[in-house]
Amino acid sequence: MWPASGRDDQSLYRTPPTVSGAKDFSMIPITVVDVADAEPLVVEVLRSGSIAQGRMVKRLEDAFAAVAGVPHAIAVNNGTTALVASLQALDLKPGDEVVTSPFTFVATLNAILEAGATARFADIRLDDFCIDPDAVAAQITDRTKVLMPVHLYGQTADMGRLAPLAAEHGLHLVEDAAQAVGATFEGKPAGSFGTGCFSLYATKNVTTAEGGMITTSDDALADKLRVLRNQGMRARYQYEMAGHNYRLTDLHAAVGIPQMEKLDQLSEARRRNAEALTKGLADIAGLTTPSVLPGRTHVWHQYTVLVGDDAPVTRDELAAKLTERGIGNGIYYPKVVFDYDCYRDNPGVVAGDVPVATRVARQALSLPVHPKLTDAELETIVANVREVFGA
């Protein structure tokens, strides 16, 4: 059973109508979907008559494998199924535990439950919003089978400590890299440390509308995932396992290929925007701008500030005032992932004490950082945040 994801909230990535009382500029959206340059490839697929999984999917897989620096990429139909399939391929038993972040999109948790495993949560760090290696160590039990860090907002978790920790305890490493295509840790790409799981949802840095990708260096795992994706079928009607239909379509893959080809430019535009925001906002008392930690490249899926408890406004007040002023913003995420009634009595959810994640859920606000922002829009964002803070 899957709790509703709330993804029918289309306002996440569409420009809302101008709010009454807004100044004479139109809304600056938190995300813009720009896939117009995919038209020739999409039309090619439409005209070819072969629209399901085929050569466009293969092209997208090759592009992902190259970016993740691994030999294998397996396309699937969304980021959640990338996580589910990666866990299913490990043949987890009931009671097997996955240690993950409490500060993530709900898909991370839902995937663990879907795979029949138990989720345990290690608190995050305040400087990267990702799982804290010390907290992870404290959550490892003799039932722990998988470590699943989430590379949140476009920056990897501390893989320099997490990868050795997983190895030392004999844990599988599954990276929720949904927000981190192109990010690196000490030169190694997200998705190359373990099994990498990416999302190609409409709001992600690279999108196919809906879509997902799994990356791995493990030949046997890649083979198993390909069979699992296709009803457990290697050749037609030859079933090797109870599988599923996790396939992506050529129509969707065609949308993503041009973005993969210009990924460096897209990430660079996000980086430039993030730098402009930090330059304009870093000195505001009560506001903490996001850090890029040494050795990591950030691909800025989100630019997320913290509104301190000592600030002149609360996070929610800042969000409301920015919306009034036509500045798109988003709260990712308003609560820690397990803190909902639907998970309260679920034996697969081991709630824990996560003070840093709880604090960040109260203080975090994401501002627009997408590649389509103009210099004028960046200035408008900065000026409005400063005004609200009286800075």
Ligand X SMILES: *Cc1c(COP(=O)(O)O)cnc(C)c1O
Size of the chain, expressed as the number of residues it contains: 391
**Encoded tokens for 199:** 């999302």
CB of 104 to ligand X, least distance (A): 5
What residue ranges bind ligand X (CB under 6 A)? 78-80, 104-105, 107-108, 150, 176, 178-179, 199, 201, 212
Nearer to ligand X by C-beta: 326 or 330? Answer: 330
Nearer to ligand X by C-beta: 99 or 311? Answer: 99
Q: How far is it, in rounded angstroms, from Cα 65 to Cα 217?
A: 9
Nearer to ligand X by C-beta: 179 or 195? Answer: 179
Nearer to ligand X by C-beta: 140 or 248? Answer: 248
CB of 388 to ligand X, least distance (A): 27
CB of 26 to ligand X, least distance (A): 27
CB of 202 to ligand X, least distance (A): 9
Residue type at 241 in one-letter notation = M
Nearer to ligand X by C-beta: 302 or 380? Answer: 302
Nearer to ligand X by C-beta: 172 or 204? Answer: 204
**Encoded tokens for 376:** 């004028």
Helix residue spans in 69-217 (DSSP H):
79-88, 106-114, 133-139, 159-168
Residue 373 has what DSSP assignment?
A: -
Note whether 270 and 371 are within 8 A (CB). Answer: yes
Note whether 229 and 85 are within 8 A (CB). Answer: yes
CB of 157 to ligand X, least distance (A): 11
Nearer to ligand X by C-beta: 172 or 325? Answer: 172
What pairing do the DSSP bridges indicate for beta strands 97-100 and 144-148? parallel
**C-alpha atoms less than 13 angstroms from C-alpha of 66 in its C-beta half-sphere:** 12
CB of 257 to ligand X, least distance (A): 18
Nearest CA-CA partner of 31 in 268, 270, 254, 292: 270
Burial class of residue 60 (count of CB atoms within 10 Å of its CB; 0-12, 13-18, 19+): buried
Note whether 60 and 208 are within 8 A (CB). Answer: yes
Nearer to ligand X by C-beta: 179 or 215? Answer: 179
Residue 92 has what DSSP assignment?
A: -
CB of 200 to ligand X, least distance (A): 6
CB of 9 to ligand X, least distance (A): 12
Nearest residue relative to ligand X (C-beta):
79
Cβ count within 10 A of residue 43:
11
**C-alpha atoms less than 13 angstroms from C-alpha of 272 in its C-beta half-sphere:** 11
Helix axes 106-114, 79-88, angle to 10 degrees: 30
